């Protein structure tokens, strides 16, 4: 690894991350770290396994999808140098690179850090990227700009020790207004700005989620003051960390915990946990947040000649007035969220010339430019047209969202991108008038996990398969009635019917034609859908499900013109079987103590206390697993250890392990408490280590433990 430019990196935390990543990669290659532990580490640094062996997907972390032109150029250069030359915009407002070699991950981090970007906690069981309405700050309906609050929450959890090894990931979104353009309703935590009695605050919703089991987020608070939302979120994540499922990965999201114990009980536990948070009131200096300014008017702009009908249609479809009088936001449709490096570089120059230097990635895999002057619209349109980025239809039925599917993802069942491309062609050719309509959106996921957010679309599809005799045909589950209505009402879609994937274009034709011919005046697609029973649409599409007439083409997936479909589902990087050795788990507990010492010397009492707590739990877990006692939550480890070891007099460090472990949420994070707690955790770990050593003398060999999907 070259260290020549490390001194140029503005954030020293990034330098340490780069050095740590390089060290861990080298240790893994030497066999000093097992694959499971290395996987956990690299995921929290944005390096994700790919369907293709020997290469990785690298994901950036871009809060609110916010980029400067300089940063976009840097990412384009990185993709060209270390990946495929393509930048993939995601529904989480990130950028992904594919086919990245592991040895290049450190170099990517270095080049990103030079422009103040990072990939910390972009993957893994962490607080993921903070998403937000792309039009935050310029939204005519917003009570205030949520951007500084989203940025503050991002910074609060970035590298925060309490959220590095949770049972599962946490996804958070901020909407700019009640219209919920950030889809807060299917997030673990959602924040909607409110003003009450002249004070700023948020409506907070929690426990939402898509995937195989969908949940609409429940309202935790109709209003919480602005200085309280950070402390609430930390306390809630602490509860999830301790109480959340860890063994059954499909049940390990926050939505299941809230459902199982109930919202009222969850909030009661959060209230108790607030004691452990360093500050009850954490104000956000929103006045320090500065919007990027529009460039000054160029006199040549006024002489720009455009095709007026085309220009007018583009403005109608893709341009909107900001809340700032005299300025416009400009949306850009980016097909499949893919933009090549050279186009990205040229687009960055165009954006800086005609708009504020603040490019936002949208949740539907596009771009938004802000603070565009009316005089700049015509030259901007021409410049975008040259780059192929002035296509009409942003946010319409033809602006199809699709995850990479079987192109690169281990979990992909069928191809998303080929189908999306075909549907885009059909709709543009056969339904051109719908390019200006925003109330029908199509979203496609390659599997049920909903990376393409298919459950939040008026027309959605997720990858599946159909067995016909001894053969398997690629298929799509049709989902209808999801998404956000123009009035802000939100819906989760219904699973209606499974169809061979090659018949999905005909399914879309049937649905659109029926909608256009039978809807009532002024009805949106969802109003039309909910006017009928689900069986109406099942009957409408059922002829396409008939399998006796499948042709050879029906057994080939989109994008594969030759070979028959073979279902090949790998293991996703967010879940996998793990083999542990008890001694290794105890060493993990020792690592937690070393981390606690580090935070203590940095006078980060909260970090020291949390890692001491984690060491207690992991040490207890090791001894429990040695006795074949299964562990699925931190809370169960704590309770079972009390019963199996402390109550039986097998441990001497404490007579009340439950009280010891839960002392973290009964004491303020002070230096005195951190000192005492760390000392007790070290004594407990030493006793656990000695106990295991004595067991090994008798057993002669350490014990392997198979833990399905569980990582403490």
Cβ pair 596, 664 in contact under 8 A: no
The DSSP line for 580-603 is EEHHHHHHHHHHHHHHHHHHHHTT
Q: For position 248, what pLDDT does the model report?
A: 83
Buried b (16+ CB within 10 A) or exposed e, 429-457: eebeebbebebbbbbbbbbbbbbbbbbbb
Distance (Å, whole) CA 36 – CA 124: 12
Q: Tell me if 568 is assigned to some domain.
A: no
Instruction: Classify residue 534 as exposed, middle or buried by CB count within 10 Å of its CB (0-12, 13-18, 19+).
Output: middle
Instruction: Choose the final residue of a domain: 290, 319, 346.
Output: 290
Q: Are residues 103 and 210 in the same domain?
A: no
Q: For position 708, what pLDDT does the model report?
A: 42
Q: Are residues 171 and 285 in the same domain?
A: yes
Q: Are residues 162 and 237 in the same domain?
A: yes
DSSP 8-state class, residue 444:
E
Q: For position 212, what pLDDT does the model report?
A: 84
β-pair partners for 202: 193, 224
The CATH number for 303's domain is 3.90.480.20
Distance (Å, whole) CA 156 – CA 150: 10
Instruction: Choose the final residue of a domain: 326, 360, 386.
Output: 386
Q: For position 469, what pLDDT does the model report?
A: 86
* 442: Cα within 13 Å, side-chain hemisphere: 29
Q: Are residues 274 and 157 in the same domain?
A: yes
Q: Tell me if 391 is assigned to some domain.
A: no
* 579: Cα within 13 Å, side-chain hemisphere: 5
Q: For position 530, what pLDDT does the model report?
A: 96
Instruction: Choose the final residue of a domain: 386, 419, 438.
Output: 386
User: Angle at CA 184, nearest 5°, toward 182 and 187?
Assistant: 120
* 3 C-beta neighbours (distance < 10 Å), count: 11
Number of independent structural domains in the chain = 5
Q: Are residues 431 and 536 in the same domain?
A: yes
DSSP 8-state class, residue 642:
I
Q: Are residues 519 and 536 in the same domain?
A: yes
Q: What is the dihedral of CA 252, 256, 261, 266, to 10 degrees?
A: 80
Q: Are residues 90 and 14 in the same domain?
A: yes
Q: Tell me if 712 is assigned to some domain.
A: no
Summarised one tens digit per residue, pLDDT across range 528-563 is 999 999 999 999 999 999 998 899 898 999 987 667
Q: Are residues 317 and 286 in the same domain?
A: no
Q: Which residues of the chain have a pLDDT value below 70?
A: 561-562, 565, 567-580, 699-712
Distance (Å, whole) CA 682 – CA 688: 10
Residue pointed to by tokens 């009964």: 666
β-pair partners for 477: 462, 498
Beta strand residue intervals within 394-441, DSSP E:
401-402
Q: Are residues 190 and 271 in the same domain?
A: yes
Q: Tell me if 20 is assigned to some domain.
A: yes
Instruction: Give whole-number Cα distances, 157 to 142, 235, 384, 574, in Å.
Output: 25, 12, 37, 20
In 3D, which of 126, 130, 154 has the Cα closest to residue 240?
A: 126
The CATH number for 204's domain is 3.30.413.10
151 is in which domain, residue-wise? 138-290
Cβ pair 692, 586 in contact under 8 A: yes
In 3D, which of 70, 147, 82, 58 has the Cα closest to residue 115?
A: 70
Distance (Å, whole) CA 84 – CA 708: 35
DSSP 8-state class, residue 125:
S
Q: Are residues 280 and 304 in the same domain?
A: no
In 3D, which of 390, 442, 361, 439 has the Cα closest to residue 91?
A: 361
Helix axes 229-243, 147-157, angle to 10 degrees: 40
Q: Tell me if 395 is assigned to some domain.
A: no
DSSP 8-state class, residue 207:
-
Distance (Å, whole) CA 684 – CA 698: 22
User: Angle at CA 340, nearest 5°, toward 335 and 341?
Assistant: 145
Length of the chain: 712
């Amino acid at each position: 690894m070259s260290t020549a430019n490390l001194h140029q990196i503005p954030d020293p935390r990034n330098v340490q991350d780069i050095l740590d990543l390089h060290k861990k990669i080298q240790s893994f290659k030497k066999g000093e770290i097992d694959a499971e532990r290395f996987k956990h580490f690299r995921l929290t640094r944005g390096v994700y396994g790919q369907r293709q062996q020997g290469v990785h997907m690298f994901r950036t972390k871009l809060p609110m999808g916010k980029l400067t032109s300089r940063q976009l150029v840097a990412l384009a250069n990185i993709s060209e140098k270390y990946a495929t030359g393509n930048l993939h915009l995601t529904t989480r407002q990130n950028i992904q690179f594919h086919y990245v070699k592991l040895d290049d991950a450190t170099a990517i981090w270095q080049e990103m850090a030079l422009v103040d970007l990072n990939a910390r906690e972009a993957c893994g069981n962490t607080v993921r990227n903070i998403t937000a309405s792309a039009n935050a700050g310029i939204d005519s309906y917003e009570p205030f700009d949520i951007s500084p609050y989203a940025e503050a929450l991002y910074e609060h959890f970035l590298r925060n020790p309490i959220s590095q090894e949770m049972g599962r990931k946490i996804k958070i979104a901020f909407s700019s207004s009640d219209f919920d353009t950030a889809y807060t309703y299917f997030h673990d935590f959602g924040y909607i700005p409110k003003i009450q009695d002249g004070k700023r605050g948020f409506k907070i919703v929690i426990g939402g989620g898509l995937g195989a089991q969908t949940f609409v987020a429940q309202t935790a608070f109709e209003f919480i003051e602005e200085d309280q939302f950070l402390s609430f979120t930390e306390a809630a994540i602490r509860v999830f960390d301790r109480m959340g499922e860890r063994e059954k990965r499909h049940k390990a999201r926050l939505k299941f915990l809230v459902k199982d114990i109930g919202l009222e009980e969850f909030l009661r536990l959060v209230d108790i946990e607030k004691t452990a948070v360093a500050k009850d009131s954490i104000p956000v200096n929103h006045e320090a947040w500065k919007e990027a300014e529009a460039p000054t008017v160029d006199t040549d702009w006024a002489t720009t000649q455009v095709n007026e009908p085309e220009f007018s249609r583009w403005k109608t479809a893709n341009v909107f007035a900001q809340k700032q009088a005299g300025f416009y936001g400009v949306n850009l449709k980016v097909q499949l969220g893919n933009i090549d490096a050279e186009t990205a570089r040229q687009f960055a120059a165009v954006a800086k010339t005609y708009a504020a230097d603040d490019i936002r990635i949208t949740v539907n895999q596009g771009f938004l430019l802000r603070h565009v002057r009316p005089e700049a619209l015509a030259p901007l349109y021409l410049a975008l047209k040259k780059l192929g980025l002035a296509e009409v239809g942003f946010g319409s039925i033809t602006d199809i969202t699709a995850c990479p599917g079987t192109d690169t993802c281990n979990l992909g069942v069928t191809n998303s991108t080929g189908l999306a491309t075909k549907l885009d062609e059909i709709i543009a050719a056969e339904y051109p008038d719908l390019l200006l309509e925003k109330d029908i959106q199509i979203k496609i996921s390659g599997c049920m996990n909903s990376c393409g957010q298919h459950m939040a679309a008026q027309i959605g599809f997720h990858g599946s398969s159909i067995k016909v005799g001894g053969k398997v045909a690629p298929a799509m589950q049709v989902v209808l009635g999801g998404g956000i209505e123009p009035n802000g009402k939100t819906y989760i879609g219904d699973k209606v019917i499974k169809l061979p994937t090659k018949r999905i274009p005909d399914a879309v034709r049937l649905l659109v034609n029926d909608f256009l011919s039978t809807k009532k005046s002024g009805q949106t697609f969802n109003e039309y859908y909910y006017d009928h029973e689900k069986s109406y649409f099942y009957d409408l599409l059922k002829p396409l499900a008939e399998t006796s007439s499948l042709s050879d083409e029906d057994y080939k997936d989109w994008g594969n013109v030759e070979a028959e479909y073979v279902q090949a589902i790998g293991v996703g990087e967010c879940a996998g079987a793990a083999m542990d050795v008890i001694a290794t788990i105890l060493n993990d507990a020792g690592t937690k103590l070393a981390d606690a010492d580090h935070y203590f010397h940095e006078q980060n009492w909260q970090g020291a206390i949390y890692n001491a707590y984690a060491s207690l739990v992991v040490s207890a877990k090791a001894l429990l697993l040695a006795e074949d006692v299964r562990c699925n939550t931190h809370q169960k480890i704590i309770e079972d250890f009390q019963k199996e070891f402390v109550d039986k007099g097998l441990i001497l460090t404490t007579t009340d392990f439950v009280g010891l472990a839960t002392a973290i949420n009964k004491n303020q994070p002070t230096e005195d408490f951190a000192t005492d707690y760390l000392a007790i955790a070290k004594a407990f770990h030493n006793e656990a280590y000695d106990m295991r050593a004595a067991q090994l003398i008798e057993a002669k060999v350490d014990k392997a433990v198979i833990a399905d999907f569980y990582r403490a």
